[in-house]
Amino acid sequence: MADKLIIDANLLLLLVIGALDNGGQIKNSKRLGGYDWADYEVVVKLMGTFRSVHITPYIAAEVSNLIDLRNQARTRAFAVAKVLFSEFGQVDSLISRDVGGPVFLGFGITDASLVELAKSYTILTNDSRLLPLLWASCEANILPFDQARQIVRQGSR
């Protein structure tokens, strides 16, 4: 696995919203129905095992658009996102390159860029539809979230 990590959008959203109220806002997000505090902790602990964490502009845009909290919680979620987005390394992107391959037509720009980036970065994702394309790009650098859960839980024992 590469020592540089990219967290896919849905898990990065979990990281942003989970940082609020000790995970108390996770239940208030319609987009995070399948996640809980333990999943948030998996992402946090996993991040600590990599030399660096990176973000693409596409993932940042998706996450900022997916924040579905209201009132003060929404404002605080954007504040957390601002800090995380500023702290993570930014992966350079080139739209003409990222839309140039066949993946863009079926999956969009964020996923198309991840397929290419998988050659140089570990990709943490919970997107089962995208996994086959990521594995085909560089199987050694793909970390499905279910596998990440197992790794973190085994390390906690």
The DSSP code sequence of 79-113 is HHHHHHHHHSEEPP--HHHHTSSHHHHHH-HHHHH
pTM summary value = 0.95
Per-residue pLDDT tens over the stretch 6-44: 999 999 999 999 999 999 999 999 999 999 999 999 999
What pLDDT is attached to residue 157? 39
Domain boundary assignment for the chain: 4-151
State the residue for tokens 């609020």.
20
Please check whether the domain covering 4-151 is classified as CATH 3.40.50.1010: yes
What pLDDT is attached to residue 156? 57
Tokens of residue 98, six digits: 């990222």
Residues 78-91: b if buried by 16+ CB within 10 A, e if exposed: eebbeebbeebeeb
Q: CA-CA distance, 81 to 86, in Å (whole number)?
A: 8
The strand pairing partners of 55, in sequence order, are 90
pLDDT tens across the length of the chain (157 residues): 889 999 999 999 999 999 999 999 999 999 999 999 999 999 999 999 999 999 999 999 999 999 999 999 999 999 999 999 999 999 999 999 999 999 999 999 999 999 999 999 999 999 999 999 999 999 999 999 999 999 998 875 3
Q: CA-CA distance, 25 to 28, in Å (whole number)?
A: 5
What pLDDT is attached to residue 40? 98
Distances (CA, A) of 15 to 23, 63, 92, 97, 107: 9, 10, 22, 29, 23
